Chain A
């Protein structure tokens, strides 16, 4: 008898008792300590919890790290588990690609692209954070994971949960880009489209996490989830030959990536894994949703929420939970922030593609356009070595490019037609 491809699976990875445990938690605001648990909120002050690491733990040398598999787990001493996590073992360690022509066009000394557009398995940096969150869910024995998402996180949670054999409940705004919806549905999660903005979805998920016993990766597993983003900083340091660039430009949605880049660079500096200064951190947002940029410009105060209006849907978070810490990280490192128009972010996608061969989603266009704006205003200059964080793949956000990129000509299958085209284009032979 032939078994059906759609037959129920046998033993799942998560049926086995984990041989690792999650680290305990500490409040970033008041310092209160808690055991390891699926909670992101301090019971004392309601501030954010983060994993607490043993400062006396043994840390690896450069050489020891270099012998490990090329995934984000090569930095496991800085990730929130004791023992070796077993799920999602092979995300991370994406390419760091030097881009001399782009450096020349922008006007900086040297420039590299940290290319998470080719992240395994879902082509965005969210594979990093889901790798740590899903192992936290496993450590806590949770059978259901989920998230509130602008798209990339939905893809990642659905894929990582499918591989682990976990049920997934994924909540997204009802009008997300079709590619991101399909690229989530293919993994057969419970996908729910909510009539509202991402911020409405996020509020709903905070209530869901509070009412159901699920592990929502960016709600009650958030303390473990966020740590995955630090690995982008670790990889930049290692891939540059254990040294830091002078500046890093990253897109900002909830502000967690910039916050965790700051933490990651500081942790490697404290461990003596590179000399010199922490890079200046720069954040980019779309002008139609720029609450963190505005906070950076004001210099103090609180986030003032906005109702997003931008084609950069993956950055369309009007009430960013980590906006304040991102702004602090930017200020502490001597960086700045830039808000760019939708037209400029499209130009940024094209400039990146035409000079580096890398196709970024709209958030990558924001990063590029922000870098251009920052260079034009003197924040970045010829003495700088800059890393641009490209966090998602352009194939996920094709819609804004329709009617922008010139259509290819259609010709009959005749050599004379090619000759005519070559003559009209003056293509060098």
Chain B
């Protein structure tokens, strides 16, 4: 499956300045792994030491928080959009 990954500016500097990347995988976790394989500096800012989503970012698959659909195990389909946003906002 091929999907688009959008990064906030604070993370794009770790991806050669790209705000939008293509990635592949059958789950969000696999897509994130594909991104971090190409941009290893992103690893510790997307994945924590237990392999879970890094707590200071929130992942949205097609506008829905992935925590409502199994986190990194959430399934993806061709053409999906994965948006990564800083968790430090609002209130």
Q: How far is the CA of A198 from the CA of B83 in the complex (A)?
A: 17
Q: Does A222 contact B (CB under 8 A)?
A: yes
Interface 1/0s, chain A 38-53, versus B by CB < 8 A? 0011010111100000
- Pairwise interchain contact B55-A317, C-beta atoms closer than 8 A: no
Q: How far is the CA of A247 from the CA of B32 in the complex (A)?
A: 45
A210 to chain B: which residues have CB within 8 Å?
Answer: 8-10
Mark out the residues of chain B between 1 and 28 whose CB falls within 8 Å of any chain A CB in the assembled complex. Answer: 8-11
With contacts defined as CB atoms under 8 Å apart, how many contacts are there between chain A and chain B in the complex? 84
- Pairwise interchain contact B10-A319, C-beta atoms closer than 8 A: no
Give the distance to chain B from A231, nearest Cβ to Cβ, in Å. 17
- Pairwise interchain contact A148-B67, C-beta atoms closer than 8 A: no
Binds B, one of A88-96, A252-260, A264-272, A330-338: A252-260
- Pairwise interchain contact A206-B10, C-beta atoms closer than 8 A: no
Q: How far is the CA of A43 from the CA of B56 in the complex (A)?
A: 12
User: Could you tell me how many residues of chain B have their Cβ less than 8 Å away from some Cβ of chain A?
Assistant: 23
Interface 1/0s, chain B 56-67, versus A by CB < 8 A? 111010010101
Q: Does A29 contact B (CB under 8 A)?
A: yes
Instruction: Tell me whether A321 and B88 are in contact in the complex, defined as CB-CB below 8 angstroms, given that A206-B8, A210-B8 are known contacts.
Output: yes
A255 to chain B: which residues have CB within 8 Å?
Answer: 91
- Pairwise interchain contact B89-A40, C-beta atoms closer than 8 A: yes
- Pairwise interchain contact B85-A222, C-beta atoms closer than 8 A: no
- Pairwise interchain contact A200-B63, C-beta atoms closer than 8 A: yes
Q: How far is the CA of A205 from the CA of B8 in the complex (A)?
A: 12
Most-contacted residue by chain A among B8, B57, B86, B89 (CB, 10 A): B89
Q: Does A199 contact B (CB under 8 A)?
A: yes
Q: Would you call the interface of chain A mostly helix, strand, loop, or mixed?
A: loop
Q: Does B54 contact A (CB under 8 A)?
A: yes
Binds B, one of A108-116, A136-144, A301-309: A301-309
Among B54, B83, B88, B90, contact of A41 (Cβ-Cβ < 8 Å): B88
Instruction: Tell me whether A203 and B85 are in contact in the complex, defined as CB-CB below 8 angstroms, given that A317-B91, A319-B65 are known contacts.
Output: yes
Q: Does A361 contact B (CB under 8 A)?
A: no
- Pairwise interchain contact A253-B55, C-beta atoms closer than 8 A: no
Chain B residue nearest to A307 in the complex (CB): B68
Most-contacted residue by chain A among B57, B67, B83, B87 (CB, 10 A): B87
Give the distance to chain A from B21, nearest Cβ to Cβ, in Å. 16
Q: A203-B60, A210-B10 given. 4 additional CB < 8 A pairs?
A: A45-B56, A207-B83, A209-B89, A305-B68
By Cβ-Cβ distance, the 8 closest A-B pairs, closest first, are: A254-B91, A202-B90, A46-B56, A206-B89, A256-B91, A48-B88, A206-B85, A219-B89
7 contacts between A and B (CB under 8 A): A47-B56, A202-B90, A209-B89, A210-B10, A222-B89, A254-B91, A320-B91
A interface residues (Cβ-Cβ under 8 A, vs B) = 29, 40-41, 43, 45-48, 148, 196, 198-200, 202-203, 205-207, 209-210, 218-219, 222, 253-256, 302, 304-305, 307, 317, 319-322
